[in-house]
Amino acid sequence: MTFTAQIDDLTTALRRTSSRLLAPLDFSQQQLPRDPEVFVEDVLLYVMDEWSQDLREQGHVLEEDTAWKDGESHYPRYLLRMTGGGVSQLHFTGTYPEALFLSISKGFRNGNQFSDARQVQIQLPITLDPNVLLMSLLQGLRSVTV
């Protein structure tokens, strides 16, 4: 499966995720928490779990890389195993609460080339509203050129 096809499948699954009702926003908590782990647990991991369900329905497996831990950024890293055997990494980076980026990368060897690695990066808002984060992911993937 080509990297472009993988991005298309990610976008399709994300559209399904966005069409489902996500958790309602708690309007009593408008400020971002001081602890980045709260943001990661309450918003980011929630959105990724929902997206993972829809990817699973397409036969893909999105799983958090629990061996990965960055004490400075606190953001997770995921492995995406696509049907057909392709593996990509989804890596959240940035410094909380200033920036959040999602890098999707795929690296593999072709016998005739040095490298066929591919990568895209999307900037995302840091928000307590999972719907805003989800729509930003969807818009970011739609605008990606590979």
Q: pLDDT at residue 123 above 70?
A: yes
Query: Which of the pair, 128 or 73, is modelled with greater confidence?
Result: 128
Q: pLDDT at residue 55 above 90?
A: yes
For residue 13, give the 3-state DSSP assignment.
helix
Query: Which of the pair, 133 or 113, is modelled with greater confidence?
Result: 133
Q: pLDDT at residue 112 above 60?
A: no
79-95 pLDDT, tens digit each: 999 998 888 999 999 99
pTM of the model: 0.81
Alpha-carbon gap, residue 69 to 67, rounded angstroms: 6
Q: pLDDT at residue 101 above 80?
A: yes
Task: Give the pLDDT mean for 54-65.
Answer: 94
Query: Could you tell me the sign of the dihedral formed by the alpha carbons of 100, 36, 48, 79, in that order?
Result: positive
Closest CA to 54 of 95, 96, 9, 92: 9
Domain ranges (residues) in the chain = 3-20+37-142
Give the residue carrying structure tokens 């009593």. 28
Q: What is each CA distance from 49 to 57, 66, 125, in whole angstroms?
A: 13, 14, 18
Band (144; pLDDT cuts 50, 70, 90): confident
pLDDT for 26 = 59
pLDDT for 103 = 95
Alpha-carbon gap, residue 129 to 127, rounded angstroms: 5
Q: Are 23 and 46 in contact (CB under 8 A)?
A: yes
